[in-house]
Structure 1
């Protein structure tokens, strides 16, 4: 069996996400082409007003790689919630270093400090475990409000969502509108998990090492755990809640 490669071109270690998952589907090349064309369309149709909202997960790292590789005029922004794992937060600098030749800069949006302090003082540091309402309130402060600032002057945004990620995302389209009427592009929507890791392998895309620890979906540290064999992609997110509640509100769609 041929070796799959890591970011630096050497063999991927046994047990890495690349070794475990990299497997292209029969129509992989067509998916890559369609994704590039959709990104080009987003850049053309919303010139100067489109941003990739990256969670720094592996799907979003692929989107960032395609934007940089094809020198597309698409801004890249992320939410630094103040509760990210160090491995996740460090990817911001990694992206800018890895794609320095393409002039990639990552816009970083943080929650309003006073709002975070007030919430924690009132509800405690573990409020997210107490109720769905408190968890969503925490997401509202740390994610939704900063996202609103990221999108304030934009007419479109780009995600790394895939239908395969969850039942809640199964009916999403490659092009749709968000709850504010902005254009929302989901260029990875038809990719499989194997497609994602195959692309990472052959293009040496940097990724979060937590993916090697059985965390396919990574959010804030208190709200993310590894998944077990047989669990779905998002089982490690807000695992104490009912399956139907497992969204933070970033991806309400019409």
Structure 2
């Protein structure tokens, strides 16, 4: 979707009185959508899902980008304290049940956001995974809300061309070999033969946290 098309669609939602929000992990490749939104309407809330497990570099980068782009960045987190996020044997859930850990810290808080908004502007790209390749530009989500995927047909090459053209900053962990950056315990550096999403939950037969599997209707 071209930038002018994105602008027209967001203006259409606004004219219809739709309440919009977006979520962001504040990785380097996430910045293109944030930069575009900052130029269209920087009042749209940008929610950072604070799991309590993020790299400190990510938290600092989020603050930097919020100020630099003039964004309305807000944090949302689980109602369950981290010390309670353990299995029956006392192990932290990210070690024994990463799906449930993601549900508690990401899916459930976002589900609550959906209950209070009409449009979820989401930066997924079709080239990231087979799950995301099946998406359409507009897709129903729970609670009568709509997912809007403006970056769906963008490629990694186009993302980084935009970053170079607008001289956007890069996540500090990029230079250390990280490509897809999530929670620190479940993220590793990208090996040359790996796909972008394979650096997440490595060896766990998992490439999605639940936001794009549980919170979508097909």
1:115-134 mapped onto 2 (5 Å cutoff): 116-120=82-86, 122-124=88-90, 126-130=92-96, 134=97
Does residue 246 of the first structure (1) align with residue 212 of the second (2)? no
Number of equivalences: 215
Q: CA deviation at 1:36?
A: 3.3
User: 54, 58, 75: which one pairs with 1:84?
Assistant: 54
Coordinate RMSD, CA, aligned: 2.2
Q: Which runs of 4+ in 1 moved over 6 A?
A: none
Match runs of 1:92-171 below 5 Å = 92-100=62-70, 104-114=71-81, 116-120=82-86, 122-124=88-90, 126-130=92-96, 134-171=97-134
2:174 corresponding residue in structure 1 = 211
171, 182, 189: which one aligns with 2:152: 189
Change (3 A) 1:128 1:73: closer
Q: TM-score, normalised by structure 2?
A: 0.87
Is the CA contact (8 Å cut-off) linking 1:178 and 1:251 kept in structure 2?
no
Where 1:209 maps in the other structure, the secondary structure is coil
Corresponding residue to 2:198 among 235, 243, 247: 235
Q: Unpaired segments of 5 or more residues in structure 2?
A: none
Displacement of 1:97: 1.5
Q: C-alpha separation between the residues in 1 aligned to 2:112 and 2:98? A: 21
Per the TM alignment, residue 185 of structure 1 is displaced from its structure 2 partner at its CA by 0.6
CA distance in 1: counterparts of 2:65 and 2:14, whole angstroms: 20
> Are the aligned partners of 2:114 and 2:142 in contact in 1 as well (CA < 8 Å)?
no
Q: Which has the larger radius of gyration?
A: 1
Q: Which runs of 5+ in 1 are unaligned?
A: 1-29
The C-alpha deviation readout for 1:132-174, integer Å capped at 9, x for no partner, is xx11111111112221233331011111100000112111111
- Who is 1:3 aligned against? none
Does the alignment pair 1:31 with 2:31? no
Q: 1:212 to 1:34 in 2, by over 3 A?
A: farther
Deviation of 1:181 (Å): 3.2
